[in-house]
Chains A and B, each alone.
Chain A
Amino acid sequence: MTTFGPKGLSVPQMAWRAAQDIPDGSYVNLGIGMPELVADHVPTGREIVFHSENGVLGAGPIAGPDEEDEELINAGKKMVTLVPGAALFHHADSFAMIRGGHIDVCVLGAFQVGTNGDLANWSTGGSDAIPAIGGAMDLVAGVKRVVVLTKHVTKTGERKLVETCTYPLTGQSVVSRIYSDLAVIDVTDGGFVAVEILEGLSIEDLASLTGGPLRPAPGIVSLAPPNL
């Protein structure tokens, strides 16, 4: 398979970077897929409670072979564990937590993020695509801080950070920050602002892989994850 652009962070490194920004004491929802890995990289000493929209606060690691229970799953339908202090509840309460602004952070995947923070992550709008929304629209509408974890461009080299989303929206002006394999980018009123950039990558190179205006933050630093 051809890969496009510079060799960026590994997926665990991307998850590690996103995890560093989650404050101690946060209630956090992780989207299905890559965002789930964020839970593996919470810095030591921080107590973070993971919410799963199918009715769990205090979701723990993926269940080991001796712990598996088909009635204890996460939103990605993987069998998980509970941490001490966990709580279980029904779906309406679970989404009251989400819509009611009680969840501090959610980390989601993206098909596209617009310069204004619009997010498209549920449908590519194709005529034979089966529309599947899940909890994403509720999460972006209600969670206090919505961040995106995504490769900077698609496998075929298309930009995912775009001037204007062309896919159907999940929510309008909802994304605060993007963690990609090449940079950490804030969504601001003035467009995309790179706050951290992959070592050895120029802001011009990053801009060429980004749709819409991109500028460096005044204090831009190198994106320096551990080997993961």
Chain B
Amino acid sequence: MINKVSPDLASAVSAVQDGSVVMIGGFGDAGSPTELIHAVVDRGVSDLTVISNNAGNGLVGLAALLNGGAVRKIICSYPRSSHSVVFEELYRAGRVELETVPQGTLAERIRAAGAGIGGFYTKTSAGTPVANGKEIRIIDGEEFVFEAPLKADVALVKAQTADRWGNLTFRLTARNFGPIMCMAAAHTIVQVRRIVPLGAIDPESVVTPGIFVDTVVQVAEPMSERTAVIQERAYP
């Protein structure tokens, strides 16, 4: 029998260890797996490398993980925002390493890892400082930059609905990096609002097939990071 449903958040994130490379879904607060991140904060792990589009807001979610000193390095496309205070302080103090990647290159590197592709050439970043030190190849007369796949030990993702096989649906723009991160990690952990019986998700509506998912945990009413940031709430 296949049952990927975990009884609680603490057991769900037990795969996260010191030194793990952790993908975290979400674009800003949309799709941020806030409760899973907080469960990782509670584990007290350190030396993490985090791969995420942004670098957290306020004092919750990814910002809470950074604030607790758990993160050694972050790989992202856009670390700056009006509320990315924790990241900026750590970065300026030299306490967190940053690798900035163009957003589409970040997405494709993740997808490539999940699809078993050993990298790809893209026109993105050609002629810019981001291409420095990377292999350049001329294809059809245009300059392309080689980018390597980006894989992770663990992915933390938020979705809308799952069944016990790990089939997922997403909601609106909370989908963003979720489906590709599910593919690219050795162990994918997903928090969902609802867990439904097998067969309750129309097979034509499955966005991420369960083969890409290892652990599912229900968080029926996830917190609003947007509200938490406005109210200046902190975790823990």
Instruction: Give chain A's interface residues, CB within 8 Å of chain B.
Output: 52-56, 69-73, 77, 88-92, 94-95, 98-99, 128, 130-138, 141-142, 168-172
Contact A77 B110, CB 8 Å, known A95-B104, A130-B91, A137-B130: no
Which of A70, A72, A90 sits near B224, CB closer than 8 Å? A70
Given A132-B79, A132-B80, A133-B103, CB of A73 within 8 Å of CB of B128: no
Tell me the number of A-to-B contacts counted with CB atoms below 8 Å: 136
Report the separation of the CA atoms of residues A170 and B126 in the bound assembly, to the nearest whole angstrom: 9
Decide if B124 touches A88 in the complex (CB within 8 Å): no
Contact B180 A171, beta carbon cutoff 8 Å: no
For B31, list chain A residues within 8 Å (CB).
71
Shortest CB-to-CB span from B146 to chain A, Å, is 14
The answer to whether A95 touches B103, judged by C-beta atoms less than 8 angstroms apart, is yes
B211 at interface, CB cutoff 8 A = no
Inter-chain pairs besides A55-B175, A134-B102, A142-B104, 17 sampled, C-beta below 8 Å: A54-B27, A54-B30, A71-B31, A71-B172, A73-B27, A77-B27, A90-B178, A91-B180, A130-B80, A131-B100, A133-B100, A133-B102, A133-B103, A135-B104, A136-B102, A170-B128, A171-B128
**Is A77's CB under 8 angstroms from B100's CB?**
no
Q: A141-B126, A170-B128 are in contact. Are A135 and B103 (CB under 8 A)?
A: yes
- The reply to whether the CB of B161 lies closer than 8 angstroms to some CB of chain A is no
Q: What would be 8 A-B contacts, judged by CB atoms less than 8 Å apart? A: A52-B173, A73-B28, A90-B178, A91-B53, A95-B104, A98-B104, A133-B101, A142-B124
Q: Which of B98, B130, B173 contacts A56 (CB 8 A)?
A: B173
Are B78 and A132 closer than 8 Å at their CB atoms? yes
Let me know if B125 and A137 touch, CB within 8 A. yes
Q: Flag if B108 contacts A131 (CB, 8 Å).
A: no
| Complex contact A90–B103 (CB within 8 A) | no
- Chain B residues in the interface with A (C-beta under 8 A): 27-31, 53, 77-81, 88, 91-92, 98, 100-105, 107-108, 110-111, 122-130, 170-180, 207, 224, 226
Whether B177 lies near A134 (C-beta < 8 A) is no
A212→B161 CA distance, assembly (Å): 56
User: Is the CB–CB distance between A90 and B179 below 8 Å?
Assistant: yes
A132 (CB) vs chain B CBs: closest residue: B80
B126 cross-chain contacts in A, Cβ below 8 A: 141, 171-172
Of B124, B127, B171, B176, which contacts A54 at CB under 8 A? B176
Contact in complex: A90, B175 (CB < 8 Å): yes
Q: Which residues of B contact A169 (CB under 8 A)?
A: 127-129
Chain A residues with CB under 8 A of B226 = 70
The chain A residue with its CB closest to the CB of B110 is: A92
Q: Is A99 a contact partner of B124 (Cβ separation < 8 A)?
A: yes
Complex Cα distance, B30 from A52, in Å, reads 14
Task: Find the B residue at minimum CB distance from A139.
Answer: B104
A69 touches B172 (CB 8 A): yes
